[in-house]
């Protein structure tokens, strides 16, 4: 179910509260159901609703790990593991694990939002860069302009490379992965320039390294193409630039991958902002989030942008 289908903003809290009461009742009557497993089931249902697939089914935000953690704590714990829980629950250790998970996700959501929002801004810049090549003429300094495009593209790849590595902020974000893949495919499209005797930018000296994802321009190869068919090179770049700009624009368009992911993240962040205290009152505070240096930097950017937006609204 998509997050857009949420009709009751307190549905998650209601589900979890119901789980607490049900588990207490079963324990008091000698039932064998585990509170940890019940919470895991309820959390799976509620979180699936909160940040569900929609147009971007890239990640479950660590839900599998969360469920496994709850099962482990149910088997190994009989009381509060550390401070931050409440002994009033049938299985306080599991409630502690759940709240610790929520605290971490609250931070991770914001970090992902900040980085993906930055990627959206860069996509707009790349769209403009593509449009620049779409309008290039045969009399222009084609080599300089093409090198400038390659440099800008590489700057985009490098900016988000660490985020998209295993364990990175955007590693499981389909919107980011699709954006990088689609733009690389656009550069490698062999059909650009066919009418002018070329098979894509590769015949103009542009290639992408399979390991790094970075583009390179072979100046000698481009010089040869220009010497033999300068107008054809310009026409090829016109065709490529038009297609590349269209791809970047679609990725950034309303209702597509990036916008939908940001919308889902924004809703999830807002939901936790409005309900976190209620969760804490019911289940304890849990352990504080432990962001990596990468996440902490993105979180600071999110908070800074939020502060600027709030101040702008207030003024």
Does one domain contain both 117 and 247? yes
Tens-digit pLDDT profile for residues 114-127: 999 999 999 999 99
Does one domain contain both 152 and 184? yes
- pLDDT score for 16: 37
- pLDDT score for 118: 96
Does one domain contain both 164 and 187? yes
Does one domain contain both 37 and 55? yes
Which ranges of the chain have pLDDT less than 50? 1-42, 44-82, 315
Q: Kindly state whether residue 2 falls inside one of the protein's structural domains.
A: no
Q: State how many domains the chain has.
A: 2
Does one domain contain both 242 and 266? no
Helices of type H across the chain: 11-28, 35-50, 63-76, 92-134, 142-164, 174-187, 219-251, 257-283, 293-314
Does one domain contain both 141 and 227? yes
d(CA 91, CA 35): 6
Does one domain contain both 244 and 276? no
- pLDDT score for 312: 64
pTM of the model: 0.74
CB burial of 21-51 (b: ≥16 within 10 Å; e: otherwise) equals: ebbeebbeeeeeebbbbbbbebbbebbbbbb
Does one domain contain both 160 and 240? yes
Q: What is the CA radius of gyration of the chain?
A: 25
Q: Kindly state whether residue 49 falls inside one of the protein's structural domains.
A: yes
Q: Kindly state whether residue 306 falls inside one of the protein's structural domains.
A: no
Domain that holds residue 281: 11-105+262-288
Q: Kindly state whether residue 256 falls inside one of the protein's structural domains.
A: no
Does one domain contain both 210 and 184? yes
- Domain boundary residue, one of 251, 272, 302: 251
DSSP state at residue 5 = G
CB atoms within 10 A of CB 261: 28
Q: Kindly state whether residue 224 falls inside one of the protein's structural domains.
A: yes
Answer for the pair 92, 126: CB distance below 8 angstroms, yes or no: no
Answer for the pair 175, 258: CB distance below 8 angstroms, yes or no: yes
CB burial of 134-171 (b: ≥16 within 10 Å; e: otherwise) equals: bebeeeeebbebbbebbebbbebbeebeebbeeebbbb
What are the tokens at 234? Answer: 């310009």
Does one domain contain both 141 and 238? yes
Q: Kindly state whether residue 274 falls inside one of the protein's structural domains.
A: yes
Q: Kindly state whether residue 300 falls inside one of the protein's structural domains.
A: no
Helix (H, G, I), strand (E, B) or coil at 287: coil
Tens-digit pLDDT profile for residues 215-235: 999 999 999 999 999 999 999
Query: In the block, which residue shows the tokens 């290039």?
Result: 136
Query: In the block, which residue shows the tokens 């991958």?
Result: 257
Does one domain contain both 126 and 243? yes
Q: Kindly state whether residue 219 falls inside one of the protein's structural domains.
A: yes
Tens-digit pLDDT profile for residues 54-92: 444 444 444 444 444 444 444 444 444 445 555 556 678
Answer for the pair 313, 125: CB distance below 8 angstroms, yes or no: no
- pLDDT score for 90: 64
Does one domain contain both 241 and 121? yes
């Amino acid at each position: 179910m998509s997050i857009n289908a949420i009709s009751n903003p307190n549905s998650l809290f209601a589900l979890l509260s119901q789980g607490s009461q049900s588990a207490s009742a079963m324990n008091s009557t000698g039932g064998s159901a585990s509170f940890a497993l019940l919470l895991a089931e309820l959390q799976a249902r509620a979180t699936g609703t909160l940040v569900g697939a929609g147009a971007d089914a890239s990640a479950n935000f660590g839900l599998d790990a969360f469920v496994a953690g709850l099962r482990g704590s149910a088997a190994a714990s009989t009381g509060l593991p550390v401070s931050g829980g409440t002994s009033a629950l049938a299985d306080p250790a599991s409630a502690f694990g759940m709240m610790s998970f929520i605290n971490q996700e609250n931070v991770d959501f914001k970090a992902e939002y900040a980085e993906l929002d930055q990627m959206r801004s860069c996509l707009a810049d790349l769209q403009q860069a593509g449009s620049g090549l779409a309008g290039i003429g045969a009399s222009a300094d084609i080599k300089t302009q093409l090198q400038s495009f390659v440099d800008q593209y590489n700057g985009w790849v490098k900016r988000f490379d660490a985020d998209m590595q295993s364990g990175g902020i955007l590693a499981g974000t389909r919107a980011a992965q699709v954006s990088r893949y689609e733009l690389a495919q656009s550069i490698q499209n062999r059909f650009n320039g066919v009418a002018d005797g070329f098979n894509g930018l590769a015949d103009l000296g542009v290639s992408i390294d399979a390991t790094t994802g970075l583009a390179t321009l072979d100046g000698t190869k481009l010089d040869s193409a220009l010497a033999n068919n300068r107008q054809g090179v310009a026409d090829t770049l016109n065709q490529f630039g038009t297609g590349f700009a269209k791809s970047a624009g679609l990725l950034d368009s309303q209702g597509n991958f990036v916008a939908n992911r940001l919308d889902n993240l924004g809703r999830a962040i807002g939901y936790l902002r409005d309900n976190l205290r209620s969760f804490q009152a019911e289940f304890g505070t849990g352990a504080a989030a432990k962001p990596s240096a990468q996440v902490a930097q993105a979180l600071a950017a999110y908070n800074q942008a939020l502060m600027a937006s709030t101040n702008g609204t207030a003024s």
